[in-house]
């Protein structure tokens, strides 16, 4: 386990608490050392503060994920605002725990991360040259930005999280629309058409595919 925390007394206390729970723990006291250690150390998980000297915890998350380093990251921070937490998770962290905290809860959350393992969890979703960034709410095809409504964005994001899979209209209706029971399946067809006209038609592509009688599929290669 790697703990990146600039307050040395707190870092030492976190280390003692985690060692008592059976973890082997290394420490780094600034963002630069933490990023280097996370890249090179082969750790099972990283406990990361946000407000660090030299490189912030946000930057460390973003940089590791951009390098396709999927080590599980738990942010441990005094920044308890909802937007602080959303930013950390959107940039690639797997969990967020605010200070003050319980060592029992910290250890339990780390064990949960270890059970999942270092599986790919990109901060940006990609299908060929089609890129969707949930944090900035941006979509682009190559270098061209694509303007989507909130509902169109949600539909495309759901499909891009399941590249190459056939997703039923009922599943899309349930997860993308709030009032599932009061809507007709035709609304999915209508919005799929809207999305297709924006991400495919202007570029001569066919990423959003209709699977007759089954639902929709987003081509993993971007069409």
68: left (phi over 0), alpha (psi -120 to 50) or beta: left
Instruction: Convert 108-124 into a string of H (helix), E (strand) and C (coil).
Output: HHHHHHHHHCCCCCCCC
CA 23 vs CA 131, 144, 179: distances in Å: 38, 47, 45
Determine what percent of the chain is predicted with pLDDT higher than 70: 94
* DSSP-derived 3-state class of residue 196: helix
Domain 125-218 matching CATH 3.40.50.150: the answer reads no
Domain ranges of the chain: 2-116, 125-218
Q: Six-digit token pair at 85? A: 């937490």
The DSSP output letter for 6 is S
Residue 172 neighbours by CB under 8 Å, 6+ apart: 155, 158, 159, 188, 215, 216
Q: Which two tokens stand for residue 67?
A: 């390098």
Helix (H) or strand (E) segment spanning residue 212: none
What sign does the dihedral 43-4-26-98 (CA atoms) show?
negative
| For range 98-111, the mean pLDDT | 89
| Contact (Cβ atoms closer than 8 angstroms) between residue 111 and residue 94 | no
Return d(Cα 27, Cα 12) in angstroms, integer.
Answer: 8
Q: What is the pLDDT of residues 150-207, one digit of tens each?
A: 889 989 988 988 889 999 988 888 888 765 555 678 889 999 999 999 999 999 999 9
pLDDT value, residue 119: 65
144: exposed, middle or buried (C-beta count within 10 Å: 0-12, 13-18, 19+)? exposed
Against a cut of 0.85, is the pTM above it?
no
- Tell me the pLDDT tens digit for each residue of 116-135: 766 666 667 889 999 998 87
Architecture of domain 2-116: 3-Layer(aba) Sandwich (3.40)
Split at pLDDT 50, 70, 90, the class of 114 is: confident
Nearest C-alpha neighbor of 45 from the set 91, 111, 1, 97: 1
Secondary structure (H, E, C), 25-55 = CEEECCHHHHHHHHHHCCCCCEEECCCCCCC
How many alpha carbons fall within 13 Å on the CB side of residue 76? 24
- Residue 12 — pLDDT band, cuts 50, 70, 90? very high
């Amino acid at each position: 386990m790697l703990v990146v925390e600039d307050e040395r007394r707190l870092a030492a206390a976190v280390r003692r608490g985690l060692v008592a729970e059976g973890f082997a723990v290394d420490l780094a006291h600034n963002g630069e050392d933490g990023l280097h250690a996370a890249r090179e150390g082969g750790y099972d998980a990283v406990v990361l503060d946000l407000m660090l000297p030299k490189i912030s915890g946000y930057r460390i998350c973003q940089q590791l994920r951009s390098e396709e380093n999927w080590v599980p990251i738990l942010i441990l921070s005094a920044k308890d605002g909802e937007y602080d937490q959303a930013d950390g998770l959107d940039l690639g962290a797997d969990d967020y725990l605010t200070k003050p905290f319980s060592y029992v809860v910290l250890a339990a959350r780390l064990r949960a991360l270890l059970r999942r393992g270092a599986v790919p969890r990109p901060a940006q979703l990609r299908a060929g040259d089609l890129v969707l960034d949930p944090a900035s709410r941006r979509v682009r095809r190559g270098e061209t930005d694509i303007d989507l409504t909130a509902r169109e964005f949600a539909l495309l994001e759901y499909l891009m999280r399941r590249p190459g899979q056939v997703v039923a209209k009922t599943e899309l209706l349930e997860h993308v629309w709030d009032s599932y029971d009061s809507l007709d399946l035709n609304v999915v067809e209508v919005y799929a058409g809207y999305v297709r006209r924006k991400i495919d038609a202007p570029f001569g592509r066919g990423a959003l595919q209709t699977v007759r009688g089954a639902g929709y599929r987003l081509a993993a290669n971007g069409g």
